[in-house]
Structure 1
Amino acid sequence: MTDIHGRPATELSDEELEEQGAQAHATRNWVFLHGSAEQFARHTTRMLELEREYLRSHPKRTWQGSGGAGGDRTVTADAWRETVLGIIEQLTMMLKRPDPHHDGLPDTADPVRAFLRRIADGGGRLHKLEAHQAAREVGLDRASVADLYKAHPPLISTEGHDRVLTEAGRAHLTADPA
């Protein structure tokens, strides 16, 4: 069985290297939006490994190896500096994320109530990606979220890209949990 990182890029055929590189780029957006921190880190590491090996094996096929980086090394260095600073900022933001168990966020003993509370705290609506993350953070699986839309009456609804707390959802939050 292959480990979670796959075969080392240096052992891949040209075809495998191209296929895995294309797949890494194709899945990047999903991992960025929905993956865990560990998945994102693993994906980034693997993608960079594949890119390094491709550049080593085929330097003339990319702007880095073909001289397409531009004649002004200062401009290129500044662009890379901005990239690295962006990565540092992203990592810093990840470290500042609140801990739902220690920073006063709702108790996740009742994930439905905690999820509805997150929507209520967002002004009664969350963008679908924020709602997806909130559901995951409180331990609410996709089927359970779907049930909130199908309840009679529904506890949440959709309005474009937003997930909206309904009157029934507000009532559920104010009802005695016992």
Structure 2
Amino acid sequence: MSAAPAELAVSSGVPASELSDAELEHQGNQAHATRHWVFLHGTAEQFRRHTERMLELEQEYLRRHPKRTWQGTGGADGAQVDLAELDVLAQVRFLTRTYATAVESLLARVPQPEHAPAEVPDVQERARALLRRYAAAPDGRLHKLEAHQTAREIGLPPAAVADLYRADPPLLVTAGEYRQITPAGRARLEGA
């Protein structure tokens, strides 16, 4: 794990609404500059706090300067929207739609794999390795972040992981913040 950047400490002691314009811009720049490190190396709690603070800073910046960003000058679809004139729920709806549109646009550019996930060499063995990790975990469950990391370590493609949840009957299920192996998942291991 690499060391945290020196500027990682994005101050969260002073509410964003009480910062000067210069402080708001500085802390916003710090938050964005350290985002990658927190995402890759931070704890779940650090990531949660960082996300909350970054959003607080962005919302305050948008409240003060609605016309300086794409949100205040028209969305990704070109519609002229002034978020400063919308209530909070309308802002959330608008930003969510805009974000979803941007994500779909990016995903459309991703080349499709030559093989379906089930046809990827060793995918079945990797799926069994993931199920074995769950079976060995206390109560047969992993925290969702640990589950994601475990699948990445094993090299199981995300679509193949999703297939374990969609199997009939499911081999893995969600349980709040956790992902858990099912009796069918354990039976699959015993039959392997």
Query: TM-score under structure 1 normalisation?
Result: 0.44
